[in-house]
A and B are shown apart, each in its own frame.
Chain A
Amino acid sequence: MLSVLTDNWELFVDGFWTTLRLFVIAAVLSLALGTLLAGFRVSPVPAMRAIGTGYVNVVRNTPLTLVFAFLVFGAPKMQISLPTFFWSAVVALTLYTSAFVCEIVRSGINTISPGQAEAARSVGMTFIQVLGIVVLPQAFRAIVPPLTSVMIALLKNTTIAAGFSVAEAGAIPAVMAERGQNQMATLVWITIGFLILIIPLVFLQRWAERRTAVA
């Protein structure tokens, strides 16, 4: 059981390192894009609202695997190709996760008491100032727990990249099958690896929940 891990140590390290890189890059990008989309959805410009709503509705109803497949197999056919499969995976994860981030940020904006925005407006702030200086900072505090859930989902979703030639943790079983290793032991070790990555996030979520409950 243990030898499966120690004999193939570099494979596990490489796999989880790629997973972690995928996760961090996609997390940062999707937080940015998701927040921007949420801004679109509450903006006074109808066309922006329509773009935000349309994006969220389409992407939330598309399987992530399809997004991956389109970027990896489809996009090169129209002469749009990303430098490596790794970056295709980053783009797919970002596009998909942003829709969920957007919905959460928007619901967070809705929880801020209207008086806050009204006060901000009454001192002469513009829409972008109201949103950026007053509403969003408060909203973010309230949405840390659901946002963490989305980030956990993103971390788990990185495994899908295994189906598209990215050598992250989800791709380890295929290599191990070639090496003729014990598959069950391999999968148990991968599970443990993911638990190690996810548990800190779960604690962050609990901690944030407690904090916002007090506030």
Chain B
Amino acid sequence: MSAVLYDVPGPRAKARNRILNVVVIVGLLAVVGWVVYRLNESGQFAERRWIQFTYSSIQQELWGGLLNTLKAAGLAAVLALLFGAVFAAARISDHWWFRAPATFVVELFRAIPLLILMFFFYYGSLQFDLGLTPFWAVVFGLTLYNGSVLAEVFRAGIAAVPKGQREAAYATGLRKNQVVRLILLPQAITSMLPAIVSQLVVLLKDTALGFIITYAELLYVAKQMGGRLQYGFPYIPTYIVVAIIYIGLCSLLSVVARYLEGRSRRQRRTRGTPPPSAAEAATSVEAPL
């Protein structure tokens, strides 16, 4: 589409675009230069502020934070997928007394801010002495929120399988359970995979909220490291390092999502039947937090 927004550039437009290109690049360099100048001026590149990253104990500290992040994200991902599967199944049930409560739960947990969900477990544990560590508050919060979003993704994926598939399956005498399990799910899962992986990126990013309820994940460790006087409060260097780690991790997952999307698109083309992209339908269900 973007190609039809403007004509194939002629000589004058080409020249104009080239000038604009240079202007934009100069502008960008000016902004980057200003930031670097500011960083340099305030001594952020001083060796004192970076030297700690060469110490193995500091590296271990970072590594520990990263492991805590991955631990919470991994466990929450598994639980959220389970939660999503169960509630998606309940939401497509034929019995209203099964469907209605599931719908209520899913809609409720999608509407509550994730941090407030975590607070429920964090403060609830303090008040009722449940002995839940911040780790569990993070994991349960992430599970409930992302599980609800995933339930919607699953449901949208199943709904997006062409109707004929379902009708044909019923016509051959399969029962609802079999239709969903044998016909709809296998097709839905292929088309949903990209959306599921993008939701897992969201989940991974949201572990950083654990910082607020004192769970010692990567960002929390970074705050501790940034506050050290003997290295001149190296907040900026540590945040740069941590940002690179987060962006690297999430980009990796995003690349997987894009690969899966491309693969399912290719398969569709060879099969010659273009079912509506459930991935697109599902990603629009919920905006990422």
A and B part of one assembly:
yes
The contact of B113 among A57, A61, A156, A184, by CB within 8 Å, is A156
The contact of B205 among A48, A61, A69, by CB within 8 Å, is A61
| Interface: B127 (CB within 8 A) | yes
A70-B243 in contact (CB<8A): yes
How far is A173 from B246 in the complex, measured between Cα atoms in Å?
A: 29
On whether A58 and B247 interact (CB within 8 A), knowing A46-B21, A78-B42, A146-B284, the answer reads yes
The residue on B at minimum CB distance from A73 is B235
A77-B287 in contact (CB<8A): no
| Interface: A1 (CB within 8 A) | no
B5-A127 in contact (CB<8A): yes
Chain B residues contacting A77 (CB-CB under 8 Å) are 42, 44, 233, 235-236
How far is A109 from B289 in the complex, measured between Cα atoms in Å?
A: 23
Q: Mark B114-127, 1 if CB is under 8 A from A, else 0.
A: 11100110011011
How far is A160 from B42 in the complex, measured between Cα atoms in Å?
A: 28
Chain A residues contacting B75 (CB-CB under 8 Å) are none
| Interface: A26 (CB within 8 A) | no
Q: Mark B6-44, 1 if CB is under 8 A from A, else 0.
A: 110100010001001100110010000000001101101
Q: Please choose the segment from B95-103, B158-166, B207-215 that sits at the chain A interface, where 4 or more of its residues have CB less than 8 A away.
A: B207-215
Q: Please choose the segment from A3-11, A82-90, A187-195 that sits at the chain B interface, where 4 or more of its residues have CB less than 8 A away.
A: A187-195
How far is A170 from B118 in the complex, measured between Cα atoms in Å?
A: 11
How far is A70 from B254 in the complex, measured between Cα atoms in Å?
A: 23
57-93 of chain A: CB within 8 A of chain B: 57-58, 60-66, 69-70, 73-74, 77-80
Chain B residues contacting A198 (CB-CB under 8 Å) are 111
| Interface: A110 (CB within 8 A) | yes
The contact of B28 among A47, A63, A69, A114, by CB within 8 Å, is A47
A66-B251 in contact (CB<8A): no
A58, A112, A149, A199 — most chain B CB neighbours (10 Å): A149
| Interface: A18 (CB within 8 A) | no
Q: Mark A140-174, 1 if CB is under 8 A from B, else 0.
A: 00000110011011001111101100000010010
| Interface: A183 (CB within 8 A) | yes
The residue on A at minimum CB distance from B125 is A183
| Interface: B50 (CB within 8 A) | no
Q: Interface residue tally of chain B, by bracket?
A: 35 or more
B284-A145 in contact (CB<8A): yes
Chain A residues contacting B208 (CB-CB under 8 Å) are 63-66
A74-B235 in contact (CB<8A): yes
On whether A109 and B123 interact (CB within 8 A), knowing A73-B235, A77-B236, A100-B287, the answer reads no
Chain A residues contacting B53 (CB-CB under 8 Å) are none
The residue on B at minimum CB distance from A99 is B288
A160-B1 in contact (CB<8A): no
| Interface: B201 (CB within 8 A) | yes
B212-A65 in contact (CB<8A): yes
On whether A149 and B239 interact (CB within 8 A), knowing A65-B211, A184-B127, the answer reads no
B6-A127 in contact (CB<8A): yes
How far is A103 from B9 in the complex, measured between Cα atoms in Å?
A: 26
List 7 A-B pairs, minimum CB-CB distance, nearest first: A163-B212, A63-B208, A61-B250, A149-B287, A183-B123, A156-B113, A65-B208
6 A-B contact pairs sorted by A residue (CB < 8 Å): A48-B20, A48-B21, A48-B24, A70-B243, A131-B5, A187-B119
